[in-house]
Amino acid sequence: MTHPQTARFAGHAVLITGAGRGIGAATARRFAAEGAQVLVTDADLGRATATAADLKSALALRCDVSDRASVEAAVAYAVAEFGRLDILVNNAHSCHPDTPLLEDQGDEEWARDLDVSLTGAFRCARAALPFLAASGRGAIVSIGSVNGEQDFGNHAYSAAKAGLASLTRTLAGDAAPRGVRVNLVQPGTVRTPGWDGREAHLDRLARVYPLGRVGEPEDIAAAVAFLASADASWITGTTLRVDGGLLAVNTVFQQAVNDN
């Protein structure tokens, strides 16, 4: 997938969590291609380093969003290296599979998914906000999920993503007086490394998407870049669906009605 090689983010400094692969890595590539300096962070330093190595004006750092000190160190590192921080992308997440019965679900897995996917975004926003406000063009874009709006399984992950959509709205109101915009991208199924070895599943899932395919990481990166850019300067507190029409059109129902 190609996109215009513009300098829309020249002079911008961006911090992305969970950027070692998948959506986070694609987002790092997109910002770098448009002129930004990018701090690629991930709990796996090897993955972060591999992503940053292919980009110009990019650095890698290990960041565990479940640890306040790690988050604050990442923000401080970005500001020290780049001299500023303009954009925060909250992409890090955790998703444990559901147990067959809800009563078999352990507290640890539930807590981990909420801590990384929801509280981790709060920790990052808390640490970054003073610097985003100082930049004069600060933006936070978080990666949600259609799971936060409709039942697609994964109780804890879904609850965390629903909470992240709410946090986006409340944080947008809190940050607006300081000139910082806060928005959420809500993806459907995206072809990330988490689906490796299950390509047949993706082929079947593509049939329920009105646009006839699952998403690619670059689809989400393009939406993140838009919401972070000056093109979206009057947009805050919004959730942007990037889901191939999944939530708008009940393809399975239509097929059942029309089935002869």
pLDDT beyond 60 at 230 = yes
Distances (CA, A) of 244 to 8, 24, 112, 151, 222: 26, 19, 29, 17, 14
Handedness of CA 76, 171, 144, 68 (dihedral sign): positive
pLDDT beyond 60 at 4 = no
Give the pLDDT score at 260: 62
Residues whose CB is less than 8 angstroms from the CB of residue 93 and which lie 6 or more positions away in sequence, other chains included: 18, 113, 116, 117, 143, 157, 160
Mean pLDDT, range 192-196, rounded to an integer: 89
Give the pLDDT score at 16: 98
Structure tokens at 120: 């981790």
Please, are residues 85 and 38 in contact by the beta-carbon 8 Å criterion?
no
> What mean pLDDT is reported for the chain?
95
- Domains in the chain: ranges and CATH: 13-197+215-247 (3.40.50.720)
| The model's pTM | 0.95
Give the pLDDT score at 258: 86
Give the pLDDT score at 97: 87
Ordered DSSP codes for 183-234: EEEEE-SB--GGGTT-HHHHHHHHTTSTTSS-B-HHHHHHHHHHHHSGGGTT
Confidence of residue 208 (pLDDT cuts 50, 70, 90): very high
pLDDT, tens digit, 9 for 90 and up, residues 144-153? 999 999 999 9
157 is catalytic: yes
Q: Which of 56, 77, 157, 209 is catalytic?
A: 157
Q: Which of 56, 77, 161, 209 is catalytic?
A: 161
Mean pLDDT, range 171-176, rounded to an integer: 98
Mean pLDDT, range 106-129, rounded to an integer: 96
Give the pLDDT score at 5: 54
Mean pLDDT, range 208-228, rounded to an integer: 97
pLDDT, tens digit, 9 for 90 and up, residues 71-96? 999 999 999 999 999 999 999 999 99
Give the pLDDT score at 259: 79
Confidence of residue 197 (pLDDT cuts 50, 70, 90): confident
Residue corresponding to tokens 């059942």: 256
Confidence of residue 2 (pLDDT cuts 50, 70, 90): very low
Give the pLDDT score at 196: 87
Handedness of CA 202, 206, 211, 212 (dihedral sign): positive
Give the pLDDT score at 7: 93
Phi-psi map region of 136: left, alpha, beta (phi>0 left; psi -120 to 50 alpha): left
Please tell me the distance from the alpha carbon of residue 174 to that of residue 224, in angstroms, as a whole number: 21
Please tell me the distance from the alpha carbon of residue 113 to that of residue 136, in angstroms, as a whole number: 33
Mean pLDDT, range 217-226, rounded to an integer: 98
Give the pLDDT score at 1: 44
Ordered DSSP codes for 128-159: HHHHHHHHTS-EEEEE--GGGTS--S-HHHHH
Please, are residues 84 and 140 in contact by the beta-carbon 8 Å criterion?
no
161 is catalytic: yes
Give the percent of the chain with pLDDT over 70. 98
Strand 239-242 versus strand 181-187 pairing type: parallel
Ordered DSSP codes for 153-171: S-HHHHHHHHHHHHHHHHH
Question: What residue type is 220 in one-letter code?
Answer: I
**In Å, how far from its chain's centre is CA 234?**
20
Mean pLDDT, range 109-122, rounded to an integer: 97
Name the CA radius of gyration of the chain, rounded: 18
Mean pLDDT, range 44-54, rounded to an integer: 97
